[in-house]
Structure 1
Amino acid sequence: MKYLLFFIAISLAVYSCDSTKSTMKGDNDTSVVENDTIRIANDSLEYEILIIESGFNSWLVTQPPRQHYGLNYLENKNQFFVSEYNSRVRNPQRFNSNLYPQEINYDYNTDYGYEVNYLLYNYFVYFQQKYNQHLPGGRR
């Protein structure tokens, strides 16, 4: 079973964890949890995305709206970002393992759809800004 599963900024997860979180069910198998945790799941494609990051939701509403970028643009950017991110995960001597805790299983041949690619792309932009990281192809 393929899972697109990643935990973003594990170092902040401790601060974001809260046993009293409530989940709101939405359309398209998307659930948003209070305190900046986003979960997107699709059983037919067998993937799950978890974004656990303090401040991500409030930052996301300040970004260009959905459909601003084309799907091909987002997929191409995500391929570069995921490749570089995973490279940094595999190189803990050079990169902080608190920022790069685990690889992202992103299959370039799978159509994850617009929503997943949009959120993943925006997370990478947020990650770079918040932690002063530069991934090739990213904006500063």
Structure 2
Amino acid sequence: MKRKNISLLLFGLMLCIGLVSCTSQKSTLDVTSEEKALFDSDDEEPVEIADDETEYEIIIIEPGFNTWLNSIARPEGYYSQSFLESRNAIMVTTWNQRAMQPLRWNPNLYEMQINYDPSIDYGYEVNYKLYNYFIYFQRKYNQRLGPFLPRI
């Protein structure tokens, strides 16, 4: 069986380079000291979601994200799948637009486009972890991927 991939590979240490010069939308977020510690973590345990039923996979390599997901993010089931899908569609669109504009947006943050089709049912787990990665990313790098504040 072929496995389709939604791959998001980010290397946190490289992402910090050039943040000062990055043109981005700034927002004031209440980032806790616990979150800040996770943002500075060297823990690079990848988050992998592979579901044979849906045949889709997402791999996220970002220091601190796995621990953040398990300790700070809202638990699975908190959001409905339709909520996650609608937010992911918005944030993927913004992400991909920025990935295609490396002179305007920091190419160390937006390294590659994300292949996400809102008309495909990726299942709850893929949408949950992708959504939470976007929240983590926005809070860590002070970015906005949509018209809403990235809250927990």
Q: Establish whether TM, by shorter chain, passes 0.5.
A: yes
The CA deviation at 1:11 is 4.6
Residue in 1 that maps onto 2:45? 36
Closer/same/farther in 2, CA of residues 105 and 93 from structure 1, 3 Å limit:
same
Distance in 1 of aligned mates of 2:68 and 2:112 = 23
| 1:75 maps to which of 76, 85, 93 | 85
Distance in 2 of aligned mates of 1:122 and 1:39 = 13
The CA deviation at 1:137 is 3.2
Report Cα offsets for 1:4-46 as digits up to 9, x if no partner: 1221x335379xxxxxxxxxxxxxxxxxxx7331111234544
Closer/same/farther in 2, CA of residues 115 and 3 from structure 1, 3 Å limit:
same
Provide the alpha-carbon RMSD of the alignment: 2.1
Distance in 1 of aligned mates of 2:135 and 2:81 = 16
Mapped contact 1:39–1:50 kept (Cα < 8 A):
yes
Give structure 2 stretches of 5+ with no counterpart. 16-42
Task: Give runs of aligned pairs for residues 41-120 of structure 1, distance below 5 A.
Answer: 41-43=50-52, 45-60=54-69, 61-120=71-130
Distance in 2 of aligned mates of 1:119 and 1:10 = 17
Mapped contact 1:5–1:47 kept (Cα < 8 A):
no
Report Cα offsets for 1:44-74 as digits up to 9, x if no partner: 5442211101111221121211111111000
Residue in 1 that maps onto 2:8? 6
- Structure 1 length normalisation: TM-score? 0.77
Report how many residues are paired. Answer: 120
Distance in 2 of aligned mates of 1:45 and 1:13 = 32
Report Cα offsets for 1:77-131 as digits up to 9, x if no partner: 0000000000000000100100000000001111111111010000000000101
- Structure 2 length normalisation: TM-score? 0.71
Higher relative contact order (CA 8 A, sep 6+): 2
3-state SS of 1:3 partner: strand
